[in-house]
Amino acid sequence: MNKGSRSVTVVIPARYGSSRFPGKPLVELNGKPMIQHVYERAVACRSVSSVLVATDDERIKQAVEAFGGRVVLVAGDYRTGTDRVAAVARMFAGEYFLDLQGDEIPLNSELLTDLIEPFLASGVGIGTLKRVMDHREDLHNSAVVKVVTDVRGDALYFSRAPIPFVRDDSERQAIAGLHYIHLGLYIYTKETLLRFAALPTSRLEDAEKLEQLRALDHGIPIRVWETKHASLRVDRPEDVSDVAERLQQYEVVRRELQNSGVFFKR
């Protein structure tokens, strides 16, 4: 991990009591708990100074410690994962904090670099990532969050609905360059993170159940950069077998490339 002067702390909020999938961070994917897959890819990122898991549950804490990870218990009733990350930011020194959702598994650690490096050069307070949408099902899946941005790359809106709505497209297909998936990670300056956590829940945030809308509702811009790197997300129990299979396929390809002498970053 990078130990440079501009410290970036990755915080992985991991709550046990998910309403749709209790115990999700501990679900086993190819012999490892999901939280370990997320943690290992964050640690492998060259732009990161430190990584820790923030949890409210002793079982998750023990699981992280079992694989040698750094973990902190953050007790209390927090509205969102970002509010839990803000609690960590009050406990630890650091300039920048990256909120990496515990159910968002980057397949390549360079995905984090695609957010961290432009953010550090930008001077903005909040940054996040988008990826081109290439599946029609994602456009109409409320579990897949969409984002639209202005010409500078600042977010105009995030939604679970198909946005933008293309009036003249009768087939309602995802259109490359127009429809984007929003990925579940954000980077903040410490000042902006603490300001965000002090704000009341906004009506848009409550309606869509999307915490980033709190920032937009209160006039805090969010810069969005594009990544081409893939990630896997587990929302419901029925996602587990597919994610496990895709993780295994990825590892097979990675090993084959390494054995052939091709340099391949994790």
CATH, residue 104: 3.90.550.10
Does a structural domain hold residue 15?
yes
Buried b (16+ CB within 10 A) or exposed e, 69-100: bebbebeeebebbbbbbbbbbeeeebebbbbb
Q: Does residue 12 contact residue 230 with C-beta atoms inside 8 Å?
A: no
The pLDDT of residue 4: 45
User: Could you tell me if residue 3 is inside a domain?
Assistant: no
Q: Coil, strand or helix: which one is 92?
A: coil
Q: Is residue 127 part of a domain?
A: yes
Is residue 16 in a domain? yes
Q: For residue 31, what are the domain limits? A: 8-258
264: in domain: no
Q: What is the pLDDT of residue 2?
A: 47
Number of domains making up the chain: 1
Residue 51 lies in a domain: yes
How would you write the pLDDT of the chain (266 residues) with one tens digit per residue? 444 457 999 999 998 877 678 899 999 999 999 999 999 999 999 999 999 999 989 999 999 999 999 999 998 888 898 999 999 999 999 999 999 998 889 999 999 999 999 999 999 999 999 999 988 788 999 989 999 999 999 999 999 999 999 988 777 788 888 999 999 899 999 999 999 999 999 999 999 999 999 999 999 999 999 999 989 988 888 889 999 999 888 888 777 766 776 555 55
Q: In the chain, what is the straight-line distance between the N-terminal and C-terminal CA atoms, in Å?
A: 13
Per the domain annotation, does 67 fall within a domain?
Answer: yes
CA distances from 3 to 8, 90, 133 (A): 9, 21, 35
pLDDT for 184 equals: 86
Q: Which of 108, 85, 109, 105 is nearest to 97 (CA)?
A: 85
Does residue 77 form part of some domain?
yes
For residues 225 and 130, is the Cβ–Cβ distance under 8 A? Answer: yes
- 44: amino acid identity, one letter: A
Model pTM? Answer: 0.90
Residue 112 is predicted with a pLDDT of 97
Numbers of helices and strands, H then E, in the chain:
9, 13
What is the CA 139 to chain-centroid distance, rounded?
A: 19
What pLDDT score does 263 carry?
52
pLDDT for 163 equals 95
* Spatial separation of the C-alpha atoms in residues 13 and 2, rounded to whole Å: 22
